[in-house]
């Protein structure tokens, strides 16, 4: 018997039963397939052909499809909204589910084979064989930090979730607590960031290593995801910042007296269990209170003594206490390619922009060769349009489809030409192998978040998860680049140009990269401010064993920072040498002009 | 007569078009204003709200004349409004005096006063009904029975506390009173100017096209730009009747001259962004004539975004979008004007396209110059770089 004939048989039986069809059998099959995929990849949002339902989008159309697709006449379904089976929405959905499946319904969690819920997990323990279907109004946990759907997809694909931690860091420095209420983001199976439908934080620990299956379905956005039994689920937080559940001191349920349930307030100021059925059973002595104490998230009750503001940050007032921070900076580490002395080697690098309507083909760079050793700084000098910035962009990965060969000693022992890597791999290199300081701080910083938050972004990308360690590291870096630590928690957008550039430098150095690229680092600044930043850079380069490439049109910048330099003109290298010599005795007329300009 | 005829004295074409519409409708039974008012209350309320005129029978007549096209009916009503003299201005309406027909407080389980479901299809299954009877097969006897008795004994006849007042009493609401905007800005008599006071924004949204406001909110939530998000909670959705009073021209006393129905909404957001007071909430306000909850809710959310971000570019953007893009008459009219003859301006564009084609393929003077300049450089590519540069420097 073919699948098609089975399905049409079911459809015919349904028709004979007189029950209304809300979802045809083919559609149910598609939903079931999506649910199976979701179970296979816990936390991953599986797209599915979500149909329009008799309830509006946002009213449980996704949850309804999941329940109808997996349920049958032998199921017993419990439906709750806010933990309450008597709410109008729960009544409505129960009516629909029973009317179309011909199944039984119950209020008792113990009797249910499927629980469909909005905003709650029942207080009672759910067991193996039971399934909870959570209705989801927003399946994208990254929406709060990223509005582009494409970018969110990329972040999930690459498990690039550092900005979620940055968001929490910013909450902590501005308010002392994480502001996320319900719908607290969780990591599922150590891989996917997931929005646990907006269940209260109280219910989040119940997702972890559960005995039952959780299906989360978002009809409007056409996504289904799942937490299979015994999957690790962890609320996103720093290692040293305890996750907190909702708690109001001294509250007990005004009806059943429970103190270990999620409660909501009434107009007379009393609190009541949000799970109405549980509350009734407590009053009927039909529960196992000891068992409930075990599954209630009491270990996550807020403890003011463990909040971040309970720890003094004396170093903010006395940066001398950060002396040990510099120990973390790279000083003894030397990364060179096997059998060679360089950290970065560029051979035959070229970039051609093809002709398009409105612009002709441009050979922006061709046949560029150089290498840089640890502790060495190489200058690339040229007029604007000479190709120097193109070279830098090709190395850092802001431009793709370059010709030639670029190798890093710190990546795959220099066996791989990084120009051949995928964009994802190129981005990963920028976490700790390669850093860049742009002329425009807005290119390298998020101006809406704090100086410390910007550094946090790099550190969390590199895997740092300890808030206090991040604070200390960020303070050490900011102090080193002479940003006053009382400005550490201010949004960078409020900083002057020179100060922004210092923050960008601190961020670039945060993970001790092997290679640092400086693209006109002082060009946007007033002369006096530029001089200060230049002095700082000179000191930083001197104290670190880092390979540096400095790109500038200004020979005095190249002279101040570098040992060797190459001169670029019309995309090509026309002269190379020790910076001193080039500056003192330039051979090419073009180089002579650059030197003359720098000497004023 | 064809389309072009409308451009040269095509009176007969216009009359023929009207006749075509009329004769097509003639086939149907006459639909009375009363029948429309009874059968289609939602669309009449929407037309009155977007039309900015409260008169049910006129709105119903416009609906019939427009063949059910809301935008057209709103246009008829607005044009009609222009014919009416302004005799007086009503006294401010106290929203708390609303006789409630429906009231929902999503933010609270048991607020002050009733949760009143009233007239709604919110919880009805969207299953097309053929005939009477519950499509889900009736018999709800085993469903949970609501044993709460709602009646005068439980809810005495007094204004119920709105949820934002409850929040304010707990010190959790920012104070948004603005003494600099005492009189509502009347958009029927005044042009739009930016920056606009809050009363002008509220007036604009109260008149706005429902779908435009809904999309504005939704775009902010799920689109690439905009300044709304999903983390709003509604404090109140109310629908009911309100008396309209004016000052009597002779006695000087307030006197009730009529009654309107209206929908109100309050939405709340936690001020959890950098620079905001995370210990408080902000609230937005929506008010739509008639029963139009979608509009009132979208309006409250947009009002919230506009005032929350008022001091920066996000607020300025939101304000411009609200004030300049939500009027249905403006948007629909301008869109439809594209059907007007445009062949003069289009001829002018064709002229430029033809000119570009004539030039296409011809080599520009600039390219000629560049070719000349590049020639030695290309030759030099085979030679030592030093020589090439010398040539270029000389050139």
Contacts of A54 in chain B (CB under 8 A): 125-127
How do A76-81 and A114-118 pair as beta strands? parallel
Tell me the pLDDT band of B6, cut-offs 50, 70 and 90. very low
Interface test with A, best of B123, B131, B357, B363 (most A CBs within 10 A): B123
- Give φ, ψ of B255 to 5 degrees: -140, 135
Do B104 and B207 belong to one domain? Answer: yes
Tell whether B393 is covered by a domain. no
Which of B135, B230, B393 has its CB closest to that of A590?
Answer: B393
Tell whether B344 is covered by a domain. no
DSSP labels for A463-523?
Answer: T---HHHHHHHHHHHHHHTT--GGGTTSBGGGS-HHHHHHHHHHHHHTT--SEEEEESTTT
Between A221 and B373, residue with greater pLDDT: A221
B10-36: pLDDT as tens digits = 888 888 888 888 888 877 788 899 999
In this prediction, residue A542 carries a pLDDT of: 84
Do B255 and B317 belong to one domain? Answer: yes
CA angle B150/B151/B153 to nearest 5° reads 115
Do B166 and B240 belong to one domain? Answer: yes
State chain A's maximal CA–CA distance in angstroms: 98
Please pick, among A144, A256, A493, A524, the residue that the annotation labels catalytic.
A256
Contacts of B126 in chain A (CB under 8 A): 53-56
HEC profile for B46-93?
HHHHHHCCCCHHHHHHHHHHCCCCHHHHHHHHHHHHCCCCCCCCCCCC
A103 a catalytic residue: no
Contacts of B390 in chain A (CB under 8 A): 589
Across the strands, what pairs with A132?
A115, A214
Do B74 and B114 belong to one domain? Answer: no
Do B49 and B109 belong to one domain? Answer: no
In this prediction, residue B386 carries a pLDDT of: 43
A426: tokens are: 């190129």
Do B177 and B37 belong to one domain? Answer: no
| CA A320 to chain CA mean position, Å | 33
Tell whether B66 is covered by a domain. yes
Residue B92 has pLDDT above 50, yes or no: yes
Do B279 and B209 belong to one domain? Answer: yes
> Rounded to the nearest 10 degrees, how much is the dihedral formed by the CA atoms of A70, A76, A82, A84?
160
Tell whether B355 is covered by a domain. no
In this prediction, residue A326 carries a pLDDT of: 55
Contacts of A279 in chain B (CB under 8 A): none
Do B75 and B115 belong to one domain? Answer: no
**Residue A558: which CATH number?**
3.40.50.300
The beta strands (E) that lie in A313-374 are given as: 344-353, 362-372
Do B165 and B49 belong to one domain? Answer: no
**Residue A21: which CATH number?**
3.40.50.11310
Average pLDDT over residues A533-550: 89
In this prediction, residue B147 carries a pLDDT of: 56
**Closest residue in B to A151 (Cα–Cα):** B224
Contact B136 A147 (CB under 8 A): no
Residue B1 has pLDDT above 50, yes or no: no
Which of B306, B329, B352 represents a domain boundary (last residue)?
B329
First to last CA, chain A: 90
Interface pTM (ipTM) of the complex? 0.79
In this prediction, residue A528 carries a pLDDT of: 86
Domain that holds residue A126: 3-144+183-235
C-alpha distance from A42 to closest chain B C-alpha (Å)? 24
C-alpha closest to that of A537 among A553, A522, A554: A522
Domain that holds residue B73: 11-81
Average pLDDT over residues A255-279: 91
Do B185 and B292 belong to one domain? Answer: yes
Which of A18, A91, A574 has its CB closest to that of B144?
Answer: A91
In this prediction, residue B389 carries a pLDDT of: 41
Half-sphere exposure of A339 (CA within 13 A, CB side): 2
Helix, strand, coil distribution of chain B in percent, nearest 5:
45, 15, 40
Number of domains in chain B: 2
Do A539 and A417 belong to one domain? Answer: yes
Tell whether A166 is covered by a domain. no
Tell whether B325 is covered by a domain. yes
C-alpha distance from B262 to closest chain A C-alpha (Å)? 23
Number of domains in chain A: 2
Do B57 and B176 belong to one domain? Answer: no
Whole-prediction pTM value?
0.84
Coil, helix or strand at residue B156 = coil
Contact B123 A89 (CB under 8 A): yes
B334-370: pLDDT as tens digits = 999 999 888 888 998 999 999 888 888 777 666 667 6
Contacts of B389 in chain A (CB under 8 A): 569, 574, 588-590
Return the axis-axis angle of helices A25-40 and A3-17, rounded to nearest 10°. 120
Mean pLDDT of chain A: 91
A343-383: pLDDT as tens digits = 999 999 999 988 887 778 888 999 999 999 998 999 999 99
Tell me the pLDDT band of B127, cut-offs 50, 70 and 90. confident
Tell me the pLDDT band of B5, cut-offs 50, 70 and 90. very low
Tell whether A206 is covered by a domain. yes
A20-76: pLDDT as tens digits = 888 888 899 999 999 999 999 999 999 999 988 988 888 899 999 999 999 999 999
Tell whether A261 is covered by a domain. no
Which of B111, B127, B367 has its CB closest to that of A267?
Answer: B111
- Give φ, ψ of B168 to 5 degrees: -65, -40
B116: tokens are: 């009143």
Between B256 and B190, residue with greater pLDDT: B256
Do A361 and A510 belong to one domain? Answer: yes
- Cα separation, A590 vs A571, in Å, equals 13
Query: Is A433:A410 a contact under the CB 8 Å cutoff?
Result: yes
Tell me the pLDDT band of B8, cut-offs 50, 70 and 90. low
Mean pLDDT of chain B: 85
Do A378 and A519 belong to one domain? Answer: yes
Tell me the pLDDT band of B146, cut-offs 50, 70 and 90. low
Which of B294, B329, B364 represents a domain boundary (last residue)?
B329
Do B72 and B182 belong to one domain? Answer: no
**Closest residue in A to B374 (Cα–Cα):** A570
Contact A590 B385 (CB under 8 A): no
Do A89 and A222 belong to one domain? Answer: yes
Tell whether A244 is covered by a domain. no
- Cα separation, B48 vs B37, in Å, equals 12
pLDDT > 90: percent of chain A:
70
Tell whether B363 is covered by a domain. no
A40 a catalytic residue: no
Please pick, among A60, A253, A453, A571, the residue that the annotation labels catalytic.
A253
Contacts of B269 in chain A (CB under 8 A): none
- Cα separation, A214 vs B21, in Å, equals 57
A482-522: pLDDT as tens digits = 999 999 999 999 999 999 999 999 999 999 999 999 999 99
H-helix segments, A107-257: 149-157, 162-175
A463 a catalytic residue: no
Which of A138, A274, A569 has its CB closest to that of B389?
Answer: A569
In this prediction, residue B384 carries a pLDDT of: 44
The beta strands (E) that lie in B89-199 are given as: 99-104
Contact B108 A56 (CB under 8 A): no
Residue B9 has pLDDT above 90, yes or no: no
């Amino acid at each position: 018997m073919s699948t098609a004939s089975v399905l049409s048989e079911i459809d015919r039986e349904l028709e004979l039963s007189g029950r209304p069809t809300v979802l045809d059998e083919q559609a149910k099959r598609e939903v079931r397939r999506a649910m199976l995929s979701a179970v296979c990849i816990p936390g991953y949002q599986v797209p599915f052909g979500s149909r329009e339902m008799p309830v509006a989008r946002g009213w449980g159309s996704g949850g309804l499809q999941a329940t109808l697709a997996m349920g049958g006449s032998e199921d017993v379904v419990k439906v709750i909204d806010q933990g309450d089976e008597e709410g109008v929405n729960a009544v409505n959905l129960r009516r629909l589910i029973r009317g179309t499946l011909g199944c039984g319904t119950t209020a008792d969690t113990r009797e249910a084979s499927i629980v469909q819920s909005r905003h709650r997990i029942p207080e009672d323990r759910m067991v193996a064989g039971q399934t909870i279907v959570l209705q989801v109004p927003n399946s994208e946990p990254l929406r709060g930090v990223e509005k582009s759907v494409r970018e969110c997809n990329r972040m999930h694909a690459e498990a690039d979730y550092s900005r979620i931690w940055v968001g929490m860091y910013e909450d902590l420095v501005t308010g002392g607590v994480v502001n996320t209420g319900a719908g607290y983001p969780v990591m599922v199976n150590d891989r996917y960031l997931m929005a646990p439908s907006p269940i209260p934080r109280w219910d989040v620990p119940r997702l972890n290593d559960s005995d039952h299956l959780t299906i989360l379905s978002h009809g409007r956005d056409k996504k289904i995801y799942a937490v299979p039994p015994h999957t690790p689920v962890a609320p996103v937080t720093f290692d040293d910042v305890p996750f907190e559940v909702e708690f109001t001191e001294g509250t007990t349920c005004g009806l059943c007296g429970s103190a270990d349930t999620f409660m909501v307030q009434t107009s007379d100021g009393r609190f009541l269990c949000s799970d109405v059925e549980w509350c009734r059973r407590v009053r009927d002595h039909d529960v196992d209170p000891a068992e409930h104490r075990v599954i209630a998230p009491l270990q996550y009750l807020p403890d003011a003594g463990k909040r971040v503001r309970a720890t003094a940050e004396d170093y903010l007032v006395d940066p001398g206490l950060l002396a040990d921070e510099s120990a973390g900076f790279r000083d003894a580490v030397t990364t060179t390619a096997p059998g060679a002395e360089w950290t970065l080697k560029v051979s035959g690098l070229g970039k051609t922009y093809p002709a398009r309507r409105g612009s002709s083909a441009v050979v922006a760079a061709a046949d560029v060769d150089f290498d840089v050793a640890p502790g060495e700084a190489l200058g690339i000098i040229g007029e604007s349009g000479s190709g120097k910035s193109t070279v830098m962009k090709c190395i850092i990965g802001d431009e793709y489809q370059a010709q030639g060969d670029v190798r890093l000693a710190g990546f795959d022992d220099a066996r791989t030409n990084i120009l051949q890597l995928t964009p994802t791999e190129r981005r990963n290199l920028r976490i700790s192998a390669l850093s860049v300081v742009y002329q425009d701080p807005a290119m390298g910083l998020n101006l809406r978040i704090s100086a410390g938050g910007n550094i946090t972004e790099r550190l969390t990308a590199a895997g740092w998860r300890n808030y206090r360690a991040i604070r200390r590291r960020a303070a050490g870096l900011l102090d080193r680049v002479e940003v006053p630590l009382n400005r550490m928690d201010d949004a960078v957008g409020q900083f002057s140009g020179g100060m922004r550039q210092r923050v960008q430098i601190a961020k670039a150095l945060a993970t001790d990269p092997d290679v640092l690229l400086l693209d006109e680092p002082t060009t946007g600044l007033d002369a006096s401010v530029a001089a200060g930043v230049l002095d700082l850079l000179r000191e930083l380069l001197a104290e670190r064993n880092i390979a540096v490439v400095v790109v500038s049109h200004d020979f005095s910048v190249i002279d101040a920072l570098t040992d060797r330099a190459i001169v670029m003109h019309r995309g090509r290298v026309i002269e190379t040498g020790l910076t001193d010599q080039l500056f003192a005795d330039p051979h090419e007329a073009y180089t002579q002009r650059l030197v003359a300009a720098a000497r004023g | 007569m064809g389309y072009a005829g409308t451009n040269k004295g095509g009176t007969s074409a216009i009359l023929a078009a009207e006749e075509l519409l009329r004769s097509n409708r003639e086939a149907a039974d006459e639909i009375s204003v009363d029948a429309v008012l009874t059968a289609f209350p939602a669309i009449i309320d929407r037309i009155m709200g977007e039309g900015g005129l409260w008169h049910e029978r006129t709105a119903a007549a416009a609906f019939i004349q427009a063949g059910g096209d809301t935008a057209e009916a709103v246009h008829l009503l607005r044009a009609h409004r222009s014919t009416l003299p302004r005799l007086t201005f009503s006294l401010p309406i106290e929203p708390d005096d609303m006789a409630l027909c429906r009231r929902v407080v999503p933010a609270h389980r048991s607020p002050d006063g009733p949760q009143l479901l009233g007239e709604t299809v919110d919880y009805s299954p969207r299953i097309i009904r053929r005939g009477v009877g519950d499509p889900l097969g009736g018999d709800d006897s085993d469903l949970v029975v609501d044993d709460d008795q709602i009646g005068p004994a439980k809810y005495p006849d007094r204004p119920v506390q709105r949820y934002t007042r409850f929040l304010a009493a707990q010190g959790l609401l920012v104070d948004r009173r603005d003494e600099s905007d005492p009189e509502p800005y009347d958009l029927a008599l005044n042009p739009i100017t930016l920056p606009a006071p809050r009363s002008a924004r509220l007036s604009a949204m109260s008149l706005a096209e429902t779908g435009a406001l809904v999309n504005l909110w939704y775009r902010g939530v799920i689109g690439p730009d905009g300044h709304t998000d999903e983390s709003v909670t509604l404090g109140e959705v109310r629908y009911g009747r309100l008396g309209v009073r004016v000052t009597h021209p002779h006695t000087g006393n307030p006197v009730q001259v009529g009654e309107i129905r209206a929908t109100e909404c309050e939405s709340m957001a936690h001020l959890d962004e950098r620079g905001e007071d995370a210990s408080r909430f902000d609230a937005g306000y929506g008010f739509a004539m008639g029963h139009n909850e979608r509009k009132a809710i979208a309006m409250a959310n947009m009002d919230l975004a506009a005032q929350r971000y008022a001091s920066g570019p996000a607020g300025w953007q939101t304000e411009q979008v609200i004030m300049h893009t939500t009027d249905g008459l403006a948007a629909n009219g301008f869109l439809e004007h594209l059907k007007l003859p445009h062949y003069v301006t289009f001829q002018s564009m064709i002229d430029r396209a033809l000119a570009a084609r004539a030039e296409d393929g011809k080599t520009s003077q600039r390219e000629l110059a560049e070719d000349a300049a590049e020639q030695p450089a290309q030759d030099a590519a085979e030679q030592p770089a030093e020589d090439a540069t010398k040539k270029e420097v000389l050139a």
